[in-house]
Amino acid sequence: MSKVRCAIYTRKSSEEGLEQDFNSLHAQQEACAAYIKSQASEGWKLVPARYEDGGISGGTLARPGLQRLLADIAAEHIDVVVVYKVDRLTRSLLDFSKLVEAFDKAGTSFVSVTQSFNTTTSMGRLTLNMLLSFAQFEREVTAERIRDKIAQSKARGMWMGGTPPIGYRADGRSLAVVDEHASAVRRIFELYLQLGRVSAVTEQLEAEGLRTPQRTSANDRTYGGSPFTRGQVYRILANETYIGRIEHGGRSYSGNHPAIIQPETFQAAREQLAANRTVEQRGQRAAEPSLLAGLLLDDRGVPMVASHACKGKLRYRYYISRNLQRAPDAKVAEGWRLPAREIETLVRTRVSEALADPVALVAALNVPLPEAADFPGLLHTGQQLSGELSFRSRKGAALLRKLLAQVQLATGEVRITLHARQLAAALQLSRLPSSDAFSISAIATMKRRGGGMKLVMPSGSPATPNVNLPLLQLIHRGRQWWQELQTDPGLTLEAIGRREGVTGGYVVRLVRLAFLDPAILTAILNGQAPLQLTSDALTGPRAVSLHWVHQRREFGFTQVS
With cut-offs at 50, 70 and 90, classify the pLDDT of residue 24: confident
DSSP string, 153-204: HHHTT---SSPPPTTEEEETTEEEE-HHHHHHHHHHHHHHHHH--HHHHHHH
Q: What is the pLDDT of residue 284?
A: 43
Phi, psi of 281 (to 5 degrees): -65, -35
Same domain, 21 and 98: yes
Same domain, 348 and 220: no
Q: Which among 302, 523, 338, 335 has a CA at the least distance from the CA of 445?
A: 338
| Phi-psi label, residue 294: left if phi above 0, alpha if psi -120 to 50, beta otherwise | left
Length in residues, the chain: 561
Q: What is the pLDDT of residues 393-447, one digit of tens each?
A: 777 888 888 888 889 988 778 899 998 888 888 888 877 787 778 888 887 766 6
pLDDT, mean of residues 196-200: 81
Q: What is the pLDDT of residue 451?
A: 46
Number of compact structural domains in the chain: 4
Query: For residue 337, is pLDDT > 70?
Result: yes
Last residue of a domain, one of 83, 106, 141: 141
Estimate to the nearest angstrom the gap between the alpha carbon of 18 and the chain centroid.
46
C-alpha triplet 277, 279, 280: angle, nearest 5°: 65
Q: Which among 316, 326, 232, 234 has a CA at the least distance from the CA of 276?
A: 234
Q: Which among 262, 244, 264 has a CA at the least distance from the CA of 254?
A: 244
Average pLDDT, the chain: 80
Query: For residue 131, is pLDDT > 70?
Result: no
Lowest mean pLDDT among 271-285, 386-400, 542-556: 271-285
Q: What is the pLDDT of residue 561?
A: 40
Query: For residue 42, is pLDDT > 70?
Result: yes
C-alpha triplet 320, 326, 327: angle, nearest 5°: 100
Last residue of a domain, one of 411, 431, 456: 456
Beta-strand pair 296-297/245-248: unpaired
Query: For residue 529, is pLDDT > 70?
Result: no
Q: What is the pLDDT of residue 49?
A: 92
Which residue range is the domain that position 328 belongs to? Answer: 296-456
How many CA atoms does the CB half-sphere of 224 hold within 13 Å?
A: 15
- Residue 186 maps to a domain: yes
CATH of the domain at 85: 3.40.50.1390
Estimate to the nearest angstrom the gap between the alpha carbon of 72 and the chain centroid.
48
Same domain, 312 and 217: no
CATH of the domain at 175: 3.90.1750.20
Q: Are 543 and 509 in contact, with CB atoms under 8 Å apart?
A: yes
Q: Are 366 and 414 in contact, with CB atoms under 8 Å apart?
A: no
Same domain, 250 and 359: no
Query: For residue 9, is pLDDT > 90?
Result: yes
Query: For residue 72, is pLDDT > 90?
Result: yes
Lowest mean pLDDT among 272-286, 337-351, 497-511: 272-286
Of the two residues 282 and 32, the one the predictor is more confident about is 32
Last residue of a domain, one of 421, 456, 491: 456
Query: For residue 359, is pLDDT > 70?
Result: yes
Beta-strand pair 304-311/413-419: unpaired
Question: Residues near 110 by Cβ (< 8 Å), separated by ≥ 6?
Answer: 80, 81, 83, 89, 99, 100, 103, 117, 118, 119, 128
At 69, the amino acid letter reads L
At 356, the amino acid letter reads A
Q: Residue 368 in 3-state DSSP? A: coil
Say how far apart CA 97 and CA 103 lie, in whole Å. Answer: 10
Q: What is the pLDDT of residue 78?
A: 93
Beta bridge partner(s), residue 88: none
- Residue 146 maps to a domain: no
Beta-strand pair 337-339/404-410: unpaired
Query: For residue 31, is pLDDT > 50?
Result: yes
- Residue 153 maps to a domain: no
% of the chain surpassing 70 pLDDT: 83
- Residue 252 maps to a domain: yes
Estimate to the nearest angstrom the gap between the alpha carbon of 422 and the chain centroid.
22
Helices (H), 60-121: 64-74, 86-89, 93-106
Q: What is the pLDDT of residue 328?
A: 45
Beta strands in 411-451 (DSSP E): 413-419, 437-443, 445-449
Burial class (CB in 10 A: 0-12, 13-18, 19+), 446: buried
Q: What is the pLDDT of residue 95?
A: 81
Same domain, 315 and 437: yes
Say how far apart CA 128 and CA 112 lie, in whole Å. Answer: 10
Q: What is the pLDDT of residue 283?
A: 45
Q: What is the pLDDT of residue 79?
A: 92
Q: What is the DSSP letter of 543?
A: P
Q: Are 8 and 83 in contact, with CB atoms under 8 Å apart?
A: yes
Say how far apart CA 430 and CA 540 lie, in whole Å. Answer: 62
pLDDT, mean of residues 101-124: 78
Same domain, 181 and 242: yes
Same domain, 339 and 448: yes
Q: What is the pLDDT of residue 148?
A: 85
Q: What is the pLDDT of residues 136-177, one digit of tens each?
A: 677 778 778 888 888 888 888 888 877 889 889 888 888 999
Same domain, 80 and 214: no
Estimate to the nearest angstrom the gap between the alpha carbon of 104 and the chain centroid.
51
Say how far apart CA 547 and CA 278 lie, in whole Å. Answer: 52
pLDDT, mean of residues 200-216: 85
With cut-offs at 50, 70 and 90, classify the pLDDT of residue 375: confident
With cut-offs at 50, 70 and 90, classify the pLDDT of residue 543: low
Say how far apart CA 69 and CA 124 lie, in whole Å. Answer: 22
- Residue 514 maps to a domain: yes
Q: What is the pLDDT of residue 325?
A: 60
Same domain, 110 and 221: no
Q: What is the pLDDT of residue 7?
A: 95
- Residue 161 maps to a domain: no
- Residue 233 maps to a domain: yes
Cα distance between the two ends of the chain: 121
pLDDT, mean of residues 19-34: 89
Q: What is the pLDDT of residues 474-495, one digit of tens each?
A: 888 888 888 888 888 888 888 8
Same domain, 309 and 401: yes
Q: Are 88 and 9 in contact, with CB atoms under 8 Å apart?
A: yes
Q: What is the DSSP letter of 55?
A: S
Tell me how far apart the 2 most distant CA atoms of the chain are, in Å.
130
At 497, the amino acid letter reads G
Q: What is the DSSP letter of 139?
A: H
Same domain, 340 and 207: no
With cut-offs at 50, 70 and 90, classify the pLDDT of residue 44: very high
Q: Which among 392, 388, 387 has a CA at the least distance from the CA of 288?
A: 392
Query: For residue 99, is pLDDT > 60?
Result: yes
Q: What is the pLDDT of residues 450-468, one digit of tens each?
A: 445 555 555 555 555 556 6
pLDDT, mean of residues 72-101: 85
Q: Which among 350, 423, 360 has a CA at the least distance from the CA of 390?
A: 350
Query: For residue 448, is pLDDT > 70?
Result: no
Q: What is the pLDDT of residue 336?
A: 77
Same domain, 206 and 319: no
pLDDT, mean of residues 541-548: 73
- Residue 151 maps to a domain: no
Inter-axis angle of helices 179-195 and 198-207, nearest 10 = 130
Lowest mean pLDDT among 15-19, 132-136, 249-253: 132-136
Helices (H), 219-314: 230-238, 263-282
